[in-house]
């Protein structure tokens, strides 16, 4: 399960990044668990639940000064005893108009196999730049 699970999670992360770039809320929803939790990098704001996260992304997508966020996984550790995994990597936010990096850092994401799809249960971000 480990190699295929890691590949599936990497593909789901790539799909999430594409959905963010395309401002595609319909594509983001299925990648988030219903009770997904996100802790932001700068002020540690907690965004709890899929609906709350989709509302936050909707606001971000409608902003005149939109920031394009990407997450780049470095490692994915799949549990050998439970259908869960932990992803570590780097993230960055780039100004859509200028391409200037506005913020960047590291993150961790916990994934769970729900049915036949991996979903994000929790993400925590650390702003370093």
CATH of the domain at 84: 3.10.450.50
Looking at the structure of the chain, the number of domains it has is: 1
Give me the percent of the chain exceeding a pLDDT of 70.
98
Whole-number Å distance between alpha carbons of 37 and 103: 21
Mention every residue, 6+ apart, whose C-beta is less than 8 A from residue 52: none
CB 15 within 8 A of CB 26: no
Sign of the CA dihedral with 7 first, then 11, 17, and 21 last: positive
Give me the percent of the chain exceeding a pLDDT of 90.
95
Q: Is 93 exposed, middle or buried (0-12, 13-18, 19+ CB in 10 A)?
A: buried
Q: Note down the domain range covering 116.
A: 2-127
Is the model's pLDDT at 1 over the cut of 60? no
Span 40-63, average pLDDT: 96
CB 77 within 8 A of CB 86: yes
């Amino acid at each position: 399960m480990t190699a295929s699970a890691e590949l599936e999670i990497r593909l789901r992360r790539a799909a999430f990044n594409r959905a963010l770039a395309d401002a595609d809320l319909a594509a983001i929803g299925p990648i988030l668990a219903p009770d997904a939790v996100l802790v932001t990098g700068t002020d540690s704001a907690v965004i709890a639940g899929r609906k709350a996260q989709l509302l936050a992304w909707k606001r971000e997508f409608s902003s005149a000064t939109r920031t394009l966020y990407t997450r780049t996984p470095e490692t994915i550790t799949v549990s050998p005893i439970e259908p869960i995994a932990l992803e570590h990597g780097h993230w960055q936010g780039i100004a859509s108009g200028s391409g200037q990096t506005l913020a960047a850092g590291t993150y961790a994401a916990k994934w769970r196999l729900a049915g036949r799809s991996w979903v994000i249960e929790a993400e925590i971000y650390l702003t370093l730049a």
